[in-house]
Amino acid sequence: MIGVLNLSNIRTLCSQYTNLSSTDIDKLLEIETTLSYYAELTDCYMFIDCMLENLPHAIVVAEAFPKKERHLYEKSVIGKFVFESFEPAVFAAFKNKEKSSISRAITQEGITVEQNVVPLFNNEQQVIAVLIQEKKVEMKTTPKDDFQNMPFALIEHIVEPNTQPIPVVSDLLVESIILTNHENKVIYSNPAGYRFISELSGLERFDNVALNKILPFLQEVYDKGDDVFFLEITIDRKSFIVKKIPIRSQNDKVTLLIIHDLTELKLKENELMMKTFAIREIHHRVKNNLQTVTSLLRLQMRNDLSASNASAFQEALNRIYSISSVYELILENEDNAEEKVDVIALSKKIGHKMVGTFNTPSIQLVFHHEDIQLFCHSKKAVSLALIICELLQNALKYAFVGREEGTIDIQFLQDASVISLHISDNGVGMQEVKASFGMEIITRLVEYDLAGTFTIIPSEEGTHTQIQFPVSEEVFILND
Are the CB atoms for 448 and 429 separated by under 8 Å? Answer: no
Between 23 and 107, the more confident residue is: 23
94 with 18, same domain: the answer is yes
Identify the domain boundary among 244, 261, 278.
261
pLDDT digits (tens, 9 = 90+) for 272-281: 777 767 777 7
Query: pLDDT at residue 143 above 50?
Result: no
Identify the domain boundary among 104, 136, 168.
136
Q: Is residue 411 assigned to a domain?
A: yes
* pLDDT value of position 463: 92
Q: Is residue 3 assigned to a domain?
A: no
**Where are the extended beta strands (E) located within 249-399?**
253-261, 341-342, 363-368, 374-376
* pLDDT value of position 289: 85
Q: Is 217 exposed, middle or buried (0-12, 13-18, 19+ CB in 10 A)?
A: middle
235 with 383, same domain: the answer is no
Share of the chain above pLDDT 90, in %: 22
Q: Is residue 249 assigned to a domain?
A: yes
237 with 270, same domain: the answer is no
399 with 299, same domain: the answer is yes
Q: Which domain holds residue 160?
A: 145-261
* pLDDT value of position 301: 79
Q: Is residue 420 assigned to a domain?
A: yes
153 with 123, same domain: the answer is no
Query: pLDDT at residue 165 above 50?
Result: no
371 with 386, same domain: the answer is yes
pLDDT digits (tens, 9 = 90+) for 63-114: 998 877 555 676 788 888 887 766 778 888 898 899 888 766 666 555 677 8
| Interatomic CA distance for residues 118 and 94, integer angstroms | 9
Give the number of domains in the chain: 3
Grade residue 21 by pLDDT with cuts at 50, 70 and 90. very high
396 with 300, same domain: the answer is yes
Q: Is residue 2 assigned to a domain?
A: no
Lowest mean pLDDT of 162-171, 254-263, 380-389, 465-474, name the range.
162-171
Please give the order of strands across the beta sheet that includes 464-470: 363-368, 406-415, 418-425, 464-470, 453-457
Identify the domain boundary among 243, 261, 279.
261
Q: Is residue 196 assigned to a domain?
A: yes
What average pLDDT does this structure show over 150-168? 40
Q: What is the CATH number of the domain that holds 378?
A: 3.30.565.10
pLDDT digits (tens, 9 = 90+) for 309-349: 778 888 888 899 898 888 888 888 766 556 789 999 999 99
159 with 250, same domain: the answer is yes
Q: What is the CATH number of the domain that holds 248?
A: 3.30.450.20
pLDDT digits (tens, 9 = 90+) for 375-415: 998 889 999 999 999 999 989 888 888 887 899 999 999 88
* pLDDT value of position 231: 79
* pLDDT value of position 391: 93
Between 63 and 9, the more confident residue is: 63
Query: pLDDT at residue 155 above 50?
Result: no
3-state secondary structure of 127: strand
Lowest mean pLDDT of 218-222, 258-262, 428-432, name the range.
428-432
Between 152 and 303, the more confident residue is: 303
pLDDT digits (tens, 9 = 90+) for 414-425: 888 899 999 999
* pLDDT value of position 6: 44
| Cα–chain center distance at 32 | 39
Residue 246 zone, left/alpha/beta (φ > 0; ψ -120 to 50; rest): beta
Angle at 466 between CA 462 and CA 471, to 5 degrees: 160
432 to each of 429, 457, 463, 467, how far by Cα in Å? 9, 12, 11, 19
174 with 283, same domain: the answer is no
Between 470 and 208, the more confident residue is: 470
Q: Is residue 1 assigned to a domain?
A: no
What average pLDDT does this structure show over 151-164? 39
Between 434 and 374, the more confident residue is: 374
Q: Is residue 156 assigned to a domain?
A: yes
Query: Taking every pair of C-alpha atoms in the chain, what is the biggest distance, in angstroms?
Result: 101
Q: What is the CATH number of the domain that holds 110?
A: 3.30.450.280
223 with 131, same domain: the answer is no
**How far is the first Cα of the chain from the last one, in angstroms, to the nearest whole number?**
60
| Interatomic CA distance for residues 300 and 399, integer angstroms | 28
Grade residue 132 by pLDDT with cuts at 50, 70 and 90. very high
Average pLDDT, rounded, for the chain: 80
Query: pLDDT at residue 18 above 60?
Result: yes
322 with 448, same domain: the answer is yes
114 with 176, same domain: the answer is no
| Interatomic CA distance for residues 367 and 344, integer angstroms | 9
Query: pLDDT at residue 25 above 60?
Result: yes
